[in-house]
Structure 1
Amino acid sequence: MRTLKVHLKVITLFFSVLILFQGCVTVYKSTNVTLEEAVRADTKVRITTNDNQTMKYLNITKINQEYFGIKKVHGGLTKIPIQKEAVEIVRIKNKPMSTIVGALIYLGGFIVVVVTGVVLSGGFAIM
């Protein structure tokens, strides 16, 4: 009984970490888009600047011909100005692929837990 509790704690921890990683997965489209297209997409955006800095935003807005990236800071949303001249690559979130990759991570983790459980229990017993 004691070993069962230890195994259940390990499995619980594993699934907790797996759910955490599954929620953090964001896949971006491989094609470069303009800032104007990023505004219309209204989704997560990853911008790479000329000096190879990567910035991630919840979305991009345009106010008076200026672009702003929206970030969550200390529980609130903050508008950060984007310098058009410094932007080299703009990628938007690929929603279907992010969902698929997240599900595959969860499914792969489930398979690892099942296989580990079978191995630790001594395999399948056929009567």
Structure 2
Amino acid sequence: MPPAERRGPRLLIVPAPDRRVGWALRAANGRRLGVGVRTYRDEDELVDAVRELIIERAALRCTVGQSEARLWVWTAHLPLLSTRPGAGEDGPVARSARGYLRRDQCQAGVEGFLAGLQWIGRELRRGGQGDRRPW
């Protein structure tokens, strides 16, 4: 389906300091669903990390807590996978794009993020793996 006809979440490449890149997940209406915690040297490295996140999304462990500003935030962690190149400790891979006033709103944000990843995963399967990117 051409990008103009696509209706659903989108992954965006976000410039980061030192000529690195990051990613953000946005809903079809433009609402921010989540952002990547890490930055990458180039788009190829970012694409590999995003594909891993989408493939391993069922293994994500999401935690909810309060920030220093007393807003509710979530963080998604991928467990250590021995087959993952350069696998280190269980570390955060994504976080909420904003703080929430209430815990239930934050939990709904987690669910929206996970649903967005699931939608992107379905789009990738539907379009084949090739060079097609989810953004």
Q: Which has the larger radius of gyration?
A: 1
| Larger fraction in helix | 1
TM-score by length of 1: 0.29
**Structure number with higher relative contact order (C-alpha < 8 Å, ≥ 6 residues apart):** 1
TM-score normalised by structure 2 residue count:
0.28
